[in-house]
Amino acid sequence: MKILIVGSGGREHAIAWKVAQSPKAEKIYCAPGNAGIEEYAECVPIKAMEFERLAAFAKEHQVDLTVVGMDDPLVGGIVDVFEAEGLRVFGPRKNAAILEGSKAFSKDLMKKYGIPTAAYESFTDADEALRYLETAKFPIVLKADGLALGKGVLICNTLEEAKDGVREIMLDKKFGIAGNCMVVEEFLTGREVSVLSFVDGKAIRTMTSAQDHKRAGDGDTGLNTGGMGTFSPSPFYTKEIDDFCQKAIYQPTVDAMAAEGRPFQGVIFFGLMLTADGPKVLEYNARFGDPEAQVVLPRMRTDIVEVFEACVDGTLDQISLEFEDNAAVCVVLASDGYPVQYEKGKAIDGLDAFKGRDGYYVFHAGTAKKDGRIVTNGGRVLGVTAKGEDLKSARTNAYQAVEWVSFENKYFRHDIGKAIDEA
Ligand code: AMP
Ligand code: GLY
């Protein structure tokens, strides 16, 4: 088969690496890709939002299956454009990607179908939101409705902070049109878990659990980022919790989307909070997590191309997913200054150290080739993943491997997987 992957981050590198293991994959393309993905795929200089050009490329090169990794093209309707051209594509249509694209939609869906989530109100009028806050309990959570690079969520401790937040989101449009509508939500406490799943419109198969580290600094300080590191599995995600979520959250979400006339095909990422009152949904994403994919996919035994095809063909009920009985930790190497301001174009050394080393991976997030060398080309530069027989050894291995790579302004968190010690 010829397979096209759309995206250019660490997640897409992990997907390309996993697809390359499949005996079914004869040729892999990635648009636009990055310097690491080139090892497995022919990178094509078409941007992820250029749907018509991508579809034309897929037709011209007789691509059998396209896999969309990123949220923006999915929410923008890339799948609809491909399907209209008769192309096979893994990912939700626009009317289903709204599960990630609109927080107000996803909250209303959960309310309508009794799926556990934080209590909330949504607003399209800033004055109404401001009035509502006068009687609210603090802390409280404000969320811009639309996509905001993972930064559209504000946790406010006081009324003043919350009022400023409403003004930033709805009046100053800090996150652009994402702030035309806003969700105000009850603040939840507990352990966060990411559960990714494959969905074919009717059936759902969950992958092994993971935990992300969203803040930029050690000890969960600093700004929210796309994710600074992950570990898998989460020791807090027990069999009992999984049983509950399968019955009360996962299948009901898939059924709800089907009942709404928005059958979901692709990956649903459940962002959960394990609260004292049981698991609740913090958010849905319509794609693999980044850097969750970098710890989940290296542990996956099942041929991912078979799973992608089963999702597209509606035969996922015939698939059982298998994962290795071990653990993985991913530490993101970023450019100092991320997520605000950082330099690019710094030469990266030491990448060869990963070659031929079983259980160690370096996934490229923001890299490019310049004069024959691999250089930094983004805030998140690399994801260093290592496996181990348990979480602690995976963490030791990952932090060892972090030292193999060097570039100017290399920055990483030193406490990825600290929660493991509390399990
Ligand atoms: P989201 O983009 O919805 O995942 O939110 C980003 C982060 O904000 C989450 O990973 C949580 O750490 C935090 N968060 C979101 N919603 C809540 C909530 N209702 N209570 C507490 N923290 C939250
Ligand atoms: N790591 C969180 C996300 O992909 O949204």
Query: Please, what is the Cα angle at 205 between 203 and 208, to 5 degrees?
Result: 165
Better-predicted residue by pLDDT, 152 or 48: 48
3 state DSSP class of 176:
helix
Residue positions counted in the chain: 423
Q: How far is the CA of 374 from the centre of ligand 2 (A)?
A: 25
Q: Is the dihedral of CA 100, 103, 104, 107 positive or negative?
A: positive
Question: For residue 261, what pLDDT is reported?
Answer: 98
Tell me the C-alpha to C-alpha distance, in Å, between residue 232 and each of 12, 33, 106, 261: 18, 25, 26, 34
Centre of ligand 1 from the C-alpha of residue 227, in Å: 13
The yes-or-no verdict on residue 149 having pLDDT over 80 is: no
Average pLDDT of the chain to the nearest whole number = 97
Q: State pLDDT tens for residues 324-355.
A: 999 999 999 999 999 999 999 999 999 999 99
Question: 275 with 252: CB under 8 angstroms?
Answer: no
Distances (CA, A) of 115 to 182, 272, 280: 20, 12, 8
Q: How far is CA 224 from CA 151, 179, 227, 402, in A?
A: 6, 18, 8, 22
pLDDT tens digits, one per residue of 157-198? 999 999 999 999 999 999 988 889 999 999 999 999 999 999
- Reported for 82-86, long-range contacts at CB under 8 A and 24+ positions apart, including other chains, are 82/51, 82/54, 82/55, 82/58, 85/55, 85/58, 85/59
Mean per-residue pLDDT, 357-367: 97
Least confident of 94-103, 150-159, 239-248, 354-363: 150-159
- Residue among 122, 140, 185, 283 to mutate when testing ligand 1 (max atoms within 8 A of CB): 283
Q: Which two tokens stand for residue 412?
A: 């990483």
Record the pTM: 0.97
Q: What does the alpha-carbon distance between residue 99 and residue 262 come to, in Å, rounded to a whole number?
A: 10
**How confident is residue 84, by pLDDT bands cut at 50, 70 and 90?**
very high
Q: Which one-letter amino acid corresponds to residue 298? A: P
**Looking at residues 375-398, what average pLDDT do you find?**
98
**Closest ligand relative to 118 C-alpha:** 1
Question: One-letter amino acid identity for 423?
Answer: A
Name residues contacting ligand 2 (CB within 6 A).
Answer: 150, 212, 226-227, 285, 289-290, 292
Tokens of 380: 């998140």
Q: Does the pLDDT at position 128 exceed 80?
A: yes
- The confidence score (pLDDT) of residue 423 equals 87
Look at residue 307 and tell me whether its pLDDT is greater than 90: yes
Of 270, 240, 233, 264, nearest in space to 115 by CA: 270
Cα 124 to Cα 104, 130, 132, 152, 254, distances in angstroms: 10, 11, 12, 16, 27
CA 121 to chain centre: 25
Question: How far is the C-alpha of 312 from the C-alpha of 67, rounded, in Å?
Answer: 10
For 318, which DSSP code?
Answer: G
Which pLDDT score is estimated for 148? Answer: 85
CA dihedral (306, 311, 317, 322) in degrees, to 10, reads 50
Residue among 104, 107, 67 nearest 87 (CA) = 67
**CA 189 to ligand 1 center in whole angstroms:** 10
